[in-house]
Chains A and B, each alone.
Chain A
Amino acid sequence: MTTANQNALAKYKNNFLKEVEANVEDGHWVKMCMQCGVCAGSCPLGPHWEHSPQKLFMMIRAGKREEVLGSDSMWMCTSCYNCIVRCPRKLPITHIMHGLANYAHRLDLAPKGQPTRDIAKLFWDNLAKTGRVNELKFSLAMYFKDGFGQGVKNAMAMQATGLGLLKAKRLNPMEIIGGHKCKDISGIKKMIAKAREIEDRRRGLA
């Protein structure tokens, strides 16, 4: 168990709702859900959620901390924002899902090897390195995230697609040795580090 998780447990005891309100992006909205279920019916990946946003909100109120933070569900969010625009109570559901996923990830309670969790981290690390996303490196990192053998298989499986993009000049092999990047990389890195430091302090993750 991470220290951050132990601290959170000690601080909020049985009040998971309070913890969510304090530490999760837009978490203060959770209490406003009226349990209508429109979000559950509006999600394109709805059938693949073990717990719909509606249920997650209920579980938060019921104090089911491990189940919520360990859930695979929030990672099914495609960021389509359908739930947000349809919610009659105007809950920023997409943001709350993102916030819950991030909080679970940072406490390391999110499911291990969850593919969206993994690529989300790869993506962020990729952009944080140069200030801009290097699509080739990101793709390769994705293919090889489960080890070299699987990576070759993944890359071979997507070969046709890659070649198509290459032919259409929408994939640049030269990106592997440099590629697009910002000038003030060091400033960006410091800035992101600072932001993370502030937020972690605020959330008790530091």
Chain B
Amino acid sequence: MVKKQYAFYPGCSSQKGATASNFLTSLDVVVDKLGIQLNEIPDWNCCGASIGYGEGGELPRLVINARNLALAEKELPGQDMVSGCPACWLATRETHERLAEHASLLAETNEALKEAGLKLNNTVKARHMTEVLIEDLGWEALKAPVVKPLEGLKIAGYVGCQTNRPFGIAGESFENPKYLDKMIETVGAEAVRYEQKVACCGGALAFSEPDKSQKQIRDIVESAYDNGADMIVTPCQLCQANVEIYQSEINKKHGTKFSMPVVYYTQLMSVAYGGSAGQAGLDGQVIKADKLEAVAKK
């Protein structure tokens, strides 16, 4: 089988030993079953995330993202860039679009890139992994490898912000995107309807404004519970970390008894495609996803 090839931008949080390392683990089974080859961009750097604005300003942020695009353009010609992390994707796509729109910014960017021995023609399309799965492979292909449908699992699809806004998946509504629910259904689970689907978890303000962002997280988890979810699934590394990790803090402060597992869509797919709990990165859960592990062990 000829594999579909992509210039892969893993992002800082997905590296080994980082907060989203289990995402990368689970992705292995998925790309393998679907015939996707991810070619890591050599020497990629951080995207600056959203919070980079405070110190980074506009051009430096554009430039660090342009470096990744330039590396992909040079080292992996002809391949779309794909990122698993919404923040990485957003920063890269924003860069691609803004530089395409403003020739003067592209010129300034290239002036800076020259310092790192690079040049950007801005020909590489920046995409998110979910986009690639839905648009390049399609729902039928995503369903085909399912050998262990996640029957009986009720899952709250937490889309959050950055795969959804401002770009979103083509054809989706910002207020009620359906693609994550569809993924849940594709792997045989039930998508729970709840009102916090596109709410913000607080993002980077989880660090700087813990009370304010924990209020967001509390609402999200509470709503998932109220609507009978067994677990929350998300496409976003920061959402995953925030919503999972801070449940214990919230419990401490508010006397709640939250213990809602939060997993990546790739972990659902990995299990459904026959991956073991380890292959699905389920050992990486701070709050164990018991019901998903049970399916993996079947």
Q: Is A–B contact present in the complex under a CB 8 A cutoff?
A: yes
Query: Which residues of A come within 8 Å of B, CB atoms?
Result: 25, 44-45, 48, 75-76, 78-82, 84-86, 92, 94, 98-99, 101-102, 105-106, 115-121, 123-125, 127, 131-133, 135, 142, 158, 160-161, 164-165, 167-172, 174-175, 180, 182-184, 187-188, 190-196, 198-199
Stretch of B12-20, B130-138, B148-156, B226-234 lying at the A interface:
B12-20
Q: A165 is contacted by which of B19, B168, B203, B207 (Cβ under 8 Å)?
A: B19
In the complex, are the beta carbons of B51 and A170 less than 8 A apart?
Answer: no
Q: B51 is contacted by which of A123, A161, A165 (Cβ under 8 Å)?
A: A123
Cβ of B146 under 8 Å from chain A: no
Cβ of B171 under 8 Å from chain A: no
- The B201-234 residues at the A interface (CB cut-off 8 A) are 202-205, 207-209, 212-213, 216
Q: Which residues of chain A are within 8 angstroms of B12 by Cβ–Cβ distance?
A: 127, 132-133, 135, 180
Q: How far is the CA of A197 from the CA of B182 in the complex (A)?
A: 47
| Contact A199:B248 (CB < 8 A) given known A81-B165, A168-B283, A184-B116 | no
In the complex, are the beta carbons of B166 and A116 less than 8 A apart?
Answer: no
Complex A-B, nearest 10 residue pairs according to Cβ-Cβ distance, in ascending order: A120-B54, A172-B17, A79-B50, A187-B116, A81-B165, A124-B55, A98-B53, A80-B200, A115-B208, A190-B115
10 A-B residue pairs with Cβ-Cβ distance under 8 Å, sorted by A, are A78-B200, A80-B203, A82-B165, A98-B53, A102-B57, A125-B55, A164-B286, A170-B22, A192-B63, A195-B59
In the complex, are the beta carbons of A172 and B16 less than 8 A apart?
Answer: yes
Chain A's closest residue to B58 (CB) is A25
In the complex, are the beta carbons of A182 and B45 less than 8 A apart?
Answer: yes
Q: How far is the CA of A142 from the CA of B208 in the complex (A)?
A: 9
In the complex, are the beta carbons of B52 and A120 less than 8 A apart?
Answer: yes
Q: A175 is contacted by which of B17, B114, B204 (Cβ under 8 Å)?
A: B17
Query: Which residues of B come within 8 Å of A, CB atoms?
Result: 12-13, 15-22, 43-46, 48-60, 62-64, 67, 108-109, 111-117, 161-162, 165-166, 168, 174, 199-200, 202-205, 207-209, 212-213, 216, 245-246, 248-249, 283-286
Output the residue of B15, B46, B53, B64 with the most chain A CB within 10 A. Answer: B53
| Contact A198:B115 (CB < 8 A) given known A102-B53, A123-B52, A133-B12 | no
In the complex, are the beta carbons of A199 and B58 less than 8 A apart?
Answer: yes
Q: How far is the CA of A187 from the CA of B21 in the complex (A)?
A: 27
| Contact A198:B59 (CB < 8 A) given known A80-B161, A81-B166, A133-B46 | yes
In the complex, are the beta carbons of B53 and A170 less than 8 A apart?
Answer: no
| Contact A160:B63 (CB < 8 A) given known A118-B208, A180-B15, A193-B115 | no
In the complex, are the beta carbons of A169 and B209 less than 8 A apart?
Answer: no
Q: Which residues of chain A are within 8 angstroms of B60 by Cβ–Cβ distance?
A: 192, 195-196, 199
Chain B nearest CB: distance from A101 CB in Å? 6
Chain B's closest residue to A175 (CB) is B17
In the complex, are the beta carbons of A196 and B212 less than 8 A apart?
Answer: no
In the complex, are the beta carbons of A121 and B54 less than 8 A apart?
Answer: yes
| Contact A172:B56 (CB < 8 A) given known A44-B216, A198-B112 | no
Q: B55 is contacted by which of A44, A105, A183, A184 (Cβ under 8 Å)?
A: A105
Q: Which residues of chain A are within 8 angstroms of B19 by Cβ–Cβ distance?
A: 135, 165, 170-171
Q: Which residues of chain B are within 8 angstroms of A188 by Cβ–Cβ distance?
A: 45, 64, 67, 116
Output the residue of A80, A131, A196 with the most chain B CB within 10 A. Answer: A80
Q: How far is the CA of A187 from the CA of B67 in the complex (A)?
A: 10
Q: Which residues of chain A are within 8 angstroms of B284 by Cβ–Cβ distance?
A: 168-170
| Contact A182:B43 (CB < 8 A) given known A78-B203, A132-B12 | yes
Chain B nearest CB: distance from A186 CB in Å? 9
Chain B's closest residue to A180 (CB) is B15
Beyond A102-B58, A116-B204, A124-B52, list 5 extra A-B contacts (CB 8 Å).
Answer: A25-B53, A106-B57, A170-B19, A192-B64, A194-B114
Chain A's closest residue to B54 (CB) is A120
| Contact A183:B43 (CB < 8 A) given known A82-B161, A98-B53, A135-B19 | yes
Q: Which residues of chain A are within 8 angstroms of B113 by Cβ–Cβ distance?
A: 191
Chain B nearest CB: distance from A90 CB in Å? 10
